[in-house]
Structure 1
Amino acid sequence: MAKPVRAALGEAWLNCQVCQGDLFRERRVLLNSAGMEFMLGKLAGENATGLICWRCGYVHLFVNKDIKLYRADK
């Protein structure tokens, strides 16, 4: 099972938009459309960082590469 992380963007720590939890599970997500995948192949899509709230499961997506993840003790 994935280890929980905390996330920050600059000086701001991130919390879940739904339950205000501050622990997440990270997952890389490929953002693509059916048309782009058909025309250019699967590698053409943009990547995002998916943060899944440890408490409620809500998925937050970030394309900002400046997001920092820190290991957290559950």
Structure 2
Amino acid sequence: MAKPVHAAVGEKKVHCLICGGDTFREREVKLNSTGMEFFNLAWANESATGLICGSCGYVHLFVPGSLKVYRTQG
């Protein structure tokens, strides 16, 4: 299981849009499109960085390179 992280976009700390939590699990999320799936080219779809809220499970998506991720202490 992924270790908990905190994150920021620029100087602004990321908080969950649903519950306000600030601890997340990070993972890559494929942005599949119907056309690419139809032609069996799903592997070529773009990816986003997903942050899954540690409190409520809401998934936040960010374009690659826009996010700074920090490991939590502990």
Tell me which residue corresponds to 1:50. 50
Tell me which residue corresponds to 2:17. 17
Identity fraction in percent = 59
Using the size of structure 1 for normalisation, the TM-score is 0.88
Tell me which residue corresponds to 1:71. 71
Q: Which has the higher strand share?
A: 1
1:40 deviates by 6.1
Tell me which residue corresponds to 2:33. 33
**1-side partners of 2:2 and 2:73: how far apart?**
12
Using the size of structure 2 for normalisation, the TM-score is 0.88
Tell me which residue corresponds to 2:7. 7
The answer for unaligned runs of 5 or more in structure 1 is none
**1-side partners of 2:55 and 2:3: how far apart?**
13
The answer for unaligned runs of 5 or more in structure 2 is none
Preserved contact between residue 5 and residue 24 of structure 2 (Cα < 8 Å): yes
